[in-house]
């Protein structure tokens, strides 16, 4: 069975056990991970899925390389930035099942927020969505709206940060980047892009799409209209609402993110926190109610509690409902 086929199996499949055990042995023997003595199955499977069950690639860990970013996973610490409608995870997946993220760079004031703080927002979002099994399998696509990009933004992106950004986009965080879409990119963005590009693997370079100011004519070639916000030529919720919804979701996950920062390899503890908070997790946009479907408590035992982190939400509007993974 090849990597993509293994990725489709449930976490408790016996066919995953040899790969999980191999990665656990390698992790316990790795000198840079000597301080960590326990790795839950769920944590290891997350990395294996991101690397199509290649154990060697799965062992790469960005967190060790970037403590200045990853040691503070607190949404309230960057609430001012989030409240500018800088970032959203769109409520609907695309036609391939990928999560779709939007970053509105012009909403970031570089005088108020450092590039490390801004990048930390991406890490917090990544930690949340990697708990979804469907996202582990289908990956994500990112839309960067560069309208408002200025010299102040460019000066924040150093070669060191460029290397770390490319590291996240390629091999060292457990997410498959399926596409990067650049909108409204100005001429003076090109030097920064040229600095990041050499660090990217060829497969990521091939997934970068530059749309320019005419993105309304081309973005719909990659995303269906119900997925995209109204401002981007779609039929989904407006971008302001989408950003506020995701900000609320991050704030509701504050304790969970703090647990991740303190115990990044312990998904059992994370899952218990998710279970404790499930009934309070709502996506409120334009009157949409979110209903969380839980399995019977008697079915929640041991490692299986991790699956609750990938719960399904049924969203209801005007008497019609559909399920969001």
- Describe the crossing of helices 115-129 and 159-169 by its angle, rounded to 10 degrees: 10
Instruction: For 203-251, write each residue's pLDDT tens digit.
Output: 889 999 999 999 999 999 999 999 999 999 999 999 999 999 999 999 9
pTM of the model: 0.76
Q: 3-state DSSP call for residue 205?
A: helix
Instruction: For 15-66, write each residue's pLDDT tens digit.
Output: 999 898 988 888 777 766 655 667 788 888 888 888 888 887 777 654 444 5
Distance CA(263)–CA(260), nearest Å, equals 5
Q: What percent of the chain has pLDDT over 90?
A: 39
Q: In this predicted structure, what is the pLDDT of residue 213?
A: 94
Instruction: For 279-322, write each residue's pLDDT tens digit.
Output: 234 334 434 343 334 444 333 333 333 333 333 333 333 333 33
Number of Cα atoms under 13 Å in the Cβ half of residue 202: 0
Contact (Cβ atoms closer than 8 angstroms) between residue 106 and residue 66: no
Q: In this predicted structure, what is the pLDDT of residue 89?
A: 97
Q: In this predicted structure, what is the pLDDT of residue 311?
A: 36
Instruction: For 90-133, write each residue's pLDDT tens digit.
Output: 999 999 999 999 999 999 999 999 988 898 899 899 889 988 99
Q: In this predicted structure, what is the pLDDT of residue 190?
A: 83
User: Look-up: residue for tokens 């708990």?
Assistant: 131
Distance CA(122)–CA(100), nearest Å, equals 13
Which helix (H) or strand (E) is 223 found in, with range? none
Q: In this predicted structure, what is the pLDDT of residue 35?
A: 59
Mean pLDDT for 74-89 is 96
Mean pLDDT for 133-144 is 94
How is 125-185 classified by DSSP, letter by letter?
Answer: HHHHHTTSHHHHHH-EEEEEE-TT--HHHHHH--HHHHHHHHHHHTTSSS--EEEEEEES-
Beta bridge partners of 321: 316
Q: What percent of the chain has pLDDT over 70?
A: 72
Instruction: For 143-192, write each residue's pLDDT tens digit.
Output: 999 999 998 998 888 887 777 767 665 656 788 899 999 999 998 888 88
């Amino acid at each position: 069975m090849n990597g993509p086929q293994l990725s489709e199996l449930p976490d408790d499949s016996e066919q995953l056990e040899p790969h999980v055990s191999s990665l656990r042995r390698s992790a316990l023997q790795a000198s840079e991970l000597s301080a960590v003595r326990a790795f839950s199955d769920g944590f290891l499977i997350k990395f294996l899925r991101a690397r199509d069950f290649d154990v060697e690639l799965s062992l790469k860990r960005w967190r060790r390389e970037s403590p200045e970013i990853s040691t503070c996973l607190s949404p309230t610490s960057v609430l001012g930035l989030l409240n500018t409608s800088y970032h959203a995870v769109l409520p609907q997946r695309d036609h391939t099942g990928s999560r779709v993220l939007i970053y509105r760079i012009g909403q970031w004031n570089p005088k108020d927020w450092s590039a490390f703080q801004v990048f930390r927002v991406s890490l917090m979002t990544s930690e949340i969505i990697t708990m979804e099994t469907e996202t582990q399998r289908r990956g994500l696509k990112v839309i960067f709206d560069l309208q408002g990009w200025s010299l102040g933004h460019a000066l924040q992106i150093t070669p060191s940060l460029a290397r770390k950004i490319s590291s996240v986009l390629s091999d060292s965080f457990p997410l498959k980047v399926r596409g990067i879409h650049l909108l409204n990119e100005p001429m003076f963005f090109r030097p920064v892009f040229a600095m990041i590009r050499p660090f990217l693997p060829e497969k990521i370079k091939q997934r970068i799409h530059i749309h320019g100011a005419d993105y309304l004519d081309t973005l719909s070639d990659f995303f269906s209209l119900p997925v995209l916000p109204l401002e981007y030529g779609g039929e989904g919720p407006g971008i302001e609402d989408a950003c506020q919804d995701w900000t609320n979701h991050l704030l509701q996950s504050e304790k969970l993110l703090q647990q991740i920062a303190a115990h990044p390899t312990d998904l059992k503890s994370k899952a218990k926190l998710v279970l404790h908070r499930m009934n309070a997790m709502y996506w409120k946009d334009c009157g949409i109610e979110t209903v969380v479907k839980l399995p019977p408590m008697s079915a929640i035992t041991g490692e299986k509690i991790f699956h609750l982190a990938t719960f399904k939400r049924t969203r209801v509007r005007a008497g019609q409902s559909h399920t969001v993974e």
